[in-house]
Amino acid sequence: MADKAQIQEAIKVQGEVVRKLKSEKASKEQIDEEVSKLLQLKAQIGGDDGKHQFVLKTAKGTRDYNPKQMAIREKVFNTILGCFKRHGAETIDTPVFELKETLTGKYGEDSKLIYDLKDQGGELLSLRYDLTVPFARYLAMNKITNIKRYHIAKVYRRDNPAMTRGRYREFYQCDFDIAGQYDAMIPDAECLKIVYEILSELDIGDFRIKVNDRRILDGMFAVCGVPDDKFRTICSTVDKLDKMPWEEVRKEMVSEKGLSEEAADQIGEYVSLQGGMELAERLLQDQKMSQSKQACAGLTDIKLLFSYLQLFQVTDKVVFDLSLARGLDYYTGIIYEGVLTQTGIAAEAQNGAEESVSVGSVAGGGRYDGLVGMFDPKGRKVPCVGVSIGIERIFSIMEQKAEASAQRVRTTEVQVMVVSAQKNLLEERLKLLTELWNAGIKAEVIYKKNPKLLSQLQYCEDSGIPLVAILGEQELKDGVVKLRAVATREEADISRADLIAEIKRRTSEA
């Protein structure tokens, strides 16, 4: 532990940092972060007033989920889980951190966003950045050559948070992947079917699934005259087309990345193309494009993919879009992205205007046939294709929907509340409660000896508990319980022997 004098010196230095930032009119975020560090230091020596001061917050870019949010989250997870299970996937789990080395060289420029753990005298560790790399590590480590698995877990990125748009530093990914040597495009088509099913079931507005292929992109760059060593950087510029207009993208290619104007214009023509199977057919006949073997392989697979998508009945939402690029290094074939096309729900609800609360991409994935081989000592490859559903943006929308609707979100599943009408009946309440619990009924009591009847009933109204079991001297004498339906306020005496069956009957109806 640092001694007090050291900490006081650190506080002085940190104070200077904050003053400097403020005088420089630095961003609020940056200042907040340094102020937070200052407060933490002050807290270590007890702060100004001699009392221990806490910074009472969660870490930057993270949040707690309250019970209402958890109820919504559970609903979303159940939909996704149901779909993954319907498609016959197993599940695995991997640790939240990996050897730092495992993540190295997998994410290109984004590697700077990886959270490292402090070197406390053991291995060098990092928090996982996605679930795909740990999955590939798992396959290589256990020499697994085919599996269909899902994995729902949190991943970590030191990105600039934009919480209102659902961008956090800690967030869930729901991944479904198929590993194995199979016939072309069958597993790939299933991944798209899964995106289609989940986005339809969640009922969060209209959507499109954009599809492209890394080989088509590379072939296109080649025939347009992009030098080999610029494929990747030009690709990441193309990736920005969903955020900026073509003119700006073109400018970046030419001015910043030194591409010829002619090449840029040719790319511009291709990336404006959207269609279905017929576009793939047309491009296979395209004089220029057809010169690239790679592009032809990609286009032939796109055609095959669409034929399977027809059988899966999902072509109404799938678009072959040559502007889709996707950032990650490890993709080798087909790539895709699910995007919501509706304008923002909250904005609509609040002012009926067209103001768009864009949530953009909510699912993405592709084929990565080389990743597992990067972990295998002999470089043995395991072809993989997968999809990742981005939950946080979907949560944001579902939360806004829940708030906009009048419907109450229940946060417990309690079926019956045991209450007493008179005093001194705690023991009787606990006895009945035990009977109910032992029979598998979800039940509770107020943890007071003599709670007021009204406050007990109010609690049921507030938390949406459907039934109340009322005990009083008379009921005990008669061997009955007064069962009250909270919604209708109807009451009926039920004999103790029939009570459990009656509660089960009434709550299974609902």
The distance of closest approach from Cβ of residue 321 to its own copies in the complex, given in angstroms and rounded to an integer, is 24
- Give least dist CB 389 to its own copies, A: 17
Strand pairing class (334-340; 318-321)? unpaired
Nearer to its own copies, 280 or 372 (CB): 372
437 binds its own copies (CB under 8 A): yes
Burial tier of 169 (Cβ tally within 10 Å: 0-12, 13-18, 19+): buried
Name which of 246 and 312 has its Cβ closer to its own copies: 312
Q: Tell which positions 206-245 bind its own copies, by CB under 8 A.
A: none
Q: Which is nearer to its own copies, 303 or 326 (CB)?
A: 303
The answer to whether residue 506 forms part of the interface with its own copies (CB under 8 A) is no
Residues 94-123 that bind its own copies (CB under 8 A): 94-102, 104, 115-120, 122-123
Best CA proximity match to 492, nearest among 500, 476, 480? 480
SS3 150: strand
Asked if 344 is part of the footprint of its own copies (rule: CB under 8 A), the reply reads: no
Residues of this chain, 376-395, that bind its own copies according to CB under 8 A: 377
Residues 289-328 that bind its own copies (CB under 8 A): 308, 311-313
Compare residues 129 and 270 and give the one whose CB is closer to its own copies. 129
In the bound complex, what is the minimum distance in angstroms from residue 445's beta carbon to its own copies? 8
DSSP 181-232: --STTHHHHHHHHHHHHHHHHHT-S-EEEEEEEHHHHHHHHHHTT--GGGHH
Q: In the complex, what is the shortest distance from the CB of residue 275 to its own copies, in angstroms, rounded to a whole number?
A: 23
Decide if residue 36 touches its own copies (CB under 8 A).
yes
- Return the number of the residue (360 or 370) whose C-beta is nearest its own copies: 370
Q: Verify binding: residue 438, its own copies, rule CB under 8 A.
A: yes
Closer residue to its own copies, CB minimum distance, 231 or 312: 312
DSSP 8-state class, residue 471? E
Contact pattern from residue 393 through residue 422 relative to its own copies, giving x for each residue in contact according to CB under 8 A and a dash for the rest: ------------------xxxx--------
Contacts of 7 (CB under 8 A, 6+ apart): 41, 44, 45
Closest CA to 409 of 463, 461, 457, 458: 463
CA dihedral in degrees (372, 373, 378, 382; nearest 10)?
70
Burial 346-360 (b: 16+ CB within 10 A, else e): bebeeeeeeeebebe
CA triplet 399, 401, 403: central angle to 5 degrees? 70
Q: Which two tokens stand for residue 442?
A: 């979800």
Site size with its own copies, rule: CB under 8 A: 99
- Residue closer to its own copies, measured from CB, 155 or 217: 155
Strands 90-91, 147-156: pairing is parallel
CB of 51 to its own copies, least distance (A): 9
Q: Work out which of 10, 26, 31, 92 binds its own copies, going by CB under 8 A.
A: 92
Nearer to its own copies, 34 or 321 (CB): 34
**Residue (186 or 485) nearer to its own copies, CB:** 186
Q: How far apart are CB 75 and its own copies at their closest, in Å?
A: 13
Residue 177 near its own copies by CB under 8 A: no
User: Which residue, 265 or 502, has its beta carbon nearer to its own copies?
Assistant: 502
**Segment interacting with its own copies, rule: CB under 8 A, options 227-235, 341-349, 399-407, 445-453:** 445-453
DSSP string, 225-284: T--GGGHHHHHHHHGGGGTS-HHHHHHIIIIIT---HHHHHHHHHHHT-EESHHHHHHHH
| Minimum separation from the CB atom of position 63 to its own copies (A) | 7
Radius of gyration of the chain (CA): 29
Could you give the C-alpha distances from 329 to 106, 231, 478, in angstroms and in order? 7, 12, 74
Considering the complex, what minimum distance in angstroms separates the CB of residue 88 from its own copies? 4
Site for its own copies in 119-148 (CB under 8 A): 119-120, 122-125, 127, 137-138, 140-142, 147-148
Strands (E), 406-488: 416-420, 443-444, 467-471, 480-485
